[in-house]
Amino acid sequence: MKRLFKVLFIVTIIAAGFTNANAQCKAFAKKICKPILNPYTHDGNYHAAILTEGEEAELYKTFYSSIEYRVAVIGSDALPDVEFSIVDANRKVLFTNSEHNYTKTWDFKLESSQQLKIVVRVLTTGESKVEDIMSGCVAIKYFLEP
């Protein structure tokens, strides 16, 4: 019984830490990305995750034709540059910020509605030791035309 209590206690502590980290990351998404909003309207969704140098994440989102969008991908100050690419269903890269000095936003309008994949990767500094690898919050937000 003591062992079960110990295990439940440890799981609760870990879950609380994870929930707190996610809450902080969501708060980061709301606070830091909002200034990039103007003059666009936010779609109400906040997508954020804690990523480590060299780590990659993918997010799928349906974008509709004839609407102007702004996609913003922002990493916390502790992280190196964050690379993001927008890829269509045929794996054609529509945009990659690595070709645009790692800009944090991309504005676009599609001719036809489609689901796109947003691939986000935190670059590595190349000089970090395993114990010095940085991690931090990365937020992805979508904005609709004004």
Q: Where are the domains of the chain?
A: 2-144
**35 conformational bin, left if phi > 0, alpha if psi -120 to 50, beta if neither:** alpha
Report yes or no: 37 and 104 within 8 Å, Cβ to Cβ. Answer: no
The predicted-structure confidence for 56-106, as pLDDT tens digits, reads as follows 999 999 999 989 998 989 888 888 999 999 999 999 999 999 999 999 999
- What pLDDT is recorded for position 127? 63
- What pLDDT is recorded for position 44? 75
Report yes or no: 113 and 65 within 8 Å, Cβ to Cβ. Answer: yes
- What pLDDT is recorded for position 18? 37
Structure tokens at 8: 């439940």
Q: How many other CB atoms sit within 10 Å of the CB of residue 143?
A: 21
Please give the model's pTM, rounded to 2 decimal places.
0.74
- Domain topology for 2-144: Jelly Rolls (2.60.120)
Quote the CA–CA distance of 86 and 103 in Å, as a whole number.
Answer: 13
Report yes or no: 71 and 43 within 8 Å, Cβ to Cβ. Answer: no
Quote the DSSP letter at residue 24. Answer: H
pLDDT at 2 over 70: no
Bridge partners (DSSP) of residue 69 are 108, 144
Highest mean pLDDT among 38-42, 72-76, 126-130: 72-76
- What pLDDT is recorded for position 17? 38
